[in-house]
Chains A and B, each alone.
Chain A
Amino acid sequence: MSQPGIPASGGAPTGLQAQNGAASASGSLYSNGPVQNALVSSQISVNQGYNSQLPGSYPHLIPAKTLNPVSGQSNYGGSQTVSPLSNYQGPGQTLHRPPVASNPATPSLHSAPVPRMPLPTSHNPAATPMPSGSFLPGANVHPPLNWQYNYSSTGSQTNHCPPASSQPTISGNTNLTSHQYVSSGDPSFQNNFIKSGIASNTNNGSMVVHNSYDEIEGGGFLATPQHTNKNPTMSRSVGYSYPSLPPGYQNTGPPSTTGMPPSSLNYSSGPQGFIQTPLGANHLAASMSGLSLHPEGLRVINLLQERNMLPATPLRPPVPNLHEDIQKLNCNPDLFRCTLTSIPQTQALLNKAKLPLGLLLHPFKDLVQLPVVTSSTIVRCRSCRTYINPFVSFLDPRRWKCNLCYRVNDVPEEFMYNPLTRVYGEPHRRPEVQNATIEFMAPSEYMLRPPQPPVYLFVFDVSHNAVETGYLNSVCQSLLDNLDLLPGNTRTKIGFITFDSTIHFYSLQEGLSQPQMLIVSDIEDVFIPMPENLLVNLNESKELVQDLLKTLPQMFTKTLETQSALGPALQAAFKLMSPTGGRMSVFQTQLPTLGVGALRPREEPNQRSSAKEIHLTPSTDFYKKLALDCSGQQVAVDLFLLSGQYSDLASLGCISRYSAGSVYYYPSYHHQQNPVQVQKLQKELQRYLTRKIGFEAVMRIRCTKGLSIHTFHGNFFVRSTDLLSLPNVNPDAGYAVQMSVEESLTDTQLVSFQSALLYTSSKGERRIRVHTLCLPVVSTLNEVFLGADVQAISGLLANMAVDRSVTASLSDARDALVNAVIDSLSAYRSSVLSNQQPGLMVPFSLRLFPLFVLALLKQKSFQTGTNARLDERIFAMCQVKNQPLVYLMLTTHPSLYRVDNLSDEGALNINDRTIPQPPILQLSVEKLSRDGAFLMDAGSVLMLWVGKNCGQNFLSQVLGVQNYALIPQIMTDLPELDTPESARIIAFISWLREQRPFFPILYVIRDESPMKANFLQNMVEDRTESALSYYEFLLHIQQQVNK
């Protein structure tokens, strides 16, 4: 059984949260430390210290309670239901001190019958003391002893605490935002603070410092511990407990408890008995409650009848069916989400559901607010090395139980002090335990070598073909503009290499009057002509670098060399960078033809449209091997391919894929003939050069015992079963992980996943970014379906389909996608639906599943029947693997809005700007009309299609043209006109742009524009020559499902 912890420490109201789900009780304070209830407002917090839970036994207890609340609490810890006093000792176990906090506060017991206690009495001894600064004298005492000790004392001691104890600290606690820092100001802290603190500030978040424990020492803690059972069961209980509830009362189902008025809370602490309801029951109750929140979610939908299931607002990820206090702490779904928000208990159940289980991560996303902790010891589980997180349980303030491997660990002394509140003894309120996403400043144990400086090496193709495209101008100009914005510090190094059939190095030694070019023509055995000065300190040689960038575009204008020795150039670049590691940006415009890594054209245009016999696999392993070497030396290679011809991206892309780089592709780039690509390159380069970057990174994903990682998707090298080697990590990269259930999870109600990304920032700090996701475990198929996250499933399926295309064939991959829908819906039909109705019945959660899969089939990666170029297809596949889910879904199923009649109805107001929110339309031509204008948001591009009969008003007020014929062929900007219509649409577009880190280009398309085909291609619900319409697809699925 679980026990509730009793936490006492001042302030620890939260403590209450019980974790045990099972135990209805709110009891376990400690366990969840992190969770705070809303209730927990400051005062409450104080009181609650105890959360007891009462089990059925409660009644008995009552009397006891009245006497002294305190005692009551203690009992609980031990045994559940138990009678009051006896309990204490019995359990003996774990409990240590009585919770401090609990007492003080409100006397009033919840239950009417019970007399109120006078305030004073209530407390536990320990508890009281806590007011902010003071520690209890006794505090240090060891738990068990104390415990009893307290107990006896309780009566007397209670008095001490003034209810007031609520302390100041509390207020701060709830959020760890930067302001907390304030505390730093405090003299006491300062020392520490300074050193660590500063650094952290730079980032964003708030940081927390703790160190100064010394002063504190001696303070006791308050909390009482609960002990815990070591059962696994307990642990799970965490999930469900309803911390918020007033403790005492919870015997009943948790839900009921919630209702209680806060006042009751106070005392509840007194008695707790727990009852532990069997977990199952709780669980059920919990799930029901979850469901009840979304009655819609329970619907079964006949897709053939209700065709318009696309919501008018962007689809939100489903909320895991967890108690709200836990859910509140859960990781943001943009960063970390799971395809099934209810994890099936066994692999058999998962297989039955036929849905993929996996995680989608965006671990290095730019965050506005990120708590950063600087601490000399990072608290981790001793056996599985999990970082402490909001979902661990505190058995007592001195011990916590890992939520991944269930080992019980000691809480280090240092961790007992909460620097935010400056209170000792409440480890559960520290930021590490209050934030599912947190960043640690890593001490030197986390370094294999001193943090590397930021190193950027640019490798340019300067063959005739490259010069023809004119890309050097744009790239050099962008570099010049952003040279000061490159992330880095005074140690930043930069270097350049150009190549055609030979390799050119540039010496940028300080003191030279101009850059010196060194040509190496031996491409068979590449060597570095001089060991130094090829990679130079950016600050010291900035003028030379600028000189070089200005002259570079002109240097090769007369070149006649058409060959390209990319392989040798990459080898040279690798040699140059291998001592430090860093980022290599390679610009290539044609198929490499010389030296190692030379490739032959193998695209056969006539076979483009068939799904067979296309070359998706690399033709050589040179690039893969080089990428692995790069990965070993912490070098990442980003490939910019600007080519009109087939360039075998399938082979070239390996260089980025296995070195954790990214691929950018600009088909038919030409500085004059293709201005759209030029603008795209500029915008993307701007983002590329200035975005955050992490060097020499590794990412490890841990999950609760019983689950295991099956396969990773993304750009990286898998170094061991759960460790990814990422020489560079950037904020625009996403990863996917397939999971399997290895052992049955029947003993658990919650599972957690933790990703830890260890990297060196561009400022030379070693940091660890940790995300933790907690999800409930379910035992029935219906619950698995109810918790399905259709976007995540589609994203994971897309990743799996890319692998399948490469290892088997494209048609296999397409079949697999369709079968995924058919199998899961058949499973739903046969196992969940009791009465077999005609039609295509799907659970509400999967109502968009067929649509998204159809969209995937029509996506560039997997489509057939069109003349997609092989490189474009492969690039689309690279994007599937490397993009975060949000953008992947937008490229797959773009959002369509009608924008010629925007109104302020339902508009958002952000910072005094009014942003209209037009409804999202289905992607079908039937939704278009010639007299309107429609905006399609496909992630990296925005397309504004203007119908032929579009109102004059829109043309003149928004586009600034007199009539339709005057709309320019290529228009990528809307004029800022002084009209409300123009203001609205511009506000809307800039709002869409602000939501993503890159800059999507807007294309205005009129009927005869070449881009119109792209626009119409995204109309996934319509029939095309080779693909089914949505309705046909549904019929096909229905036929298969009902077979």
Chain B
Amino acid sequence: MSEDSDREAYKLPPTRTPHSDRITSVPNPVDLIQTAFSYVVDAPITFVREWIERQQAKNKFYYYHQKFRRVPDLSECLEGDYLCYFEAEAQWRRDRLVDQQIVEIIRERVGACKHREGPNHFQNCAKEMELLAQVTKAYQDRYGDLGVHGNARTCLMKQKHRMMEERKAQASESQ
């Protein structure tokens, strides 16, 4: 759904193919195949695509990502105020979608890092994997076992239980 705007994560390192000195007079068949491909397949398709883009460039129009205003949370709603509940619920669902996309982006970054590093990914991707572990744990803590019928109210109750557990752990620690 969304693309990672940080393309730095996907930049491959520069290739280190050495320049070859030819000692035979036999022409490289790979060159022939490449020129044949570029004439038969590449050039017509590029020509058609560029023609289409010239037609489309005559009247350009844009689309935007909608920015929603923040509304009072479910914890700030009075009891029985169903309109406040509705708006808080809608905001919670939007926030959950955003969080899902965040986790997805971090996962893609880890995948790209693994592909880039090859056999060294255990060492070189440690930061990305640590970040993924933290983000997934945070997502699981907040939205984890709410199930398919999870809504803002059940999420708030889960948060309340988490805070109670924390308080109990702190109290037992301080004793």
Task: Decide whether A and B are members of one complex.
Answer: no
User: Which residues does A use to contact B, with CB under 8 Å?
Assistant: none
User: Which residues does B use to contact A, with CB under 8 Å?
Assistant: none
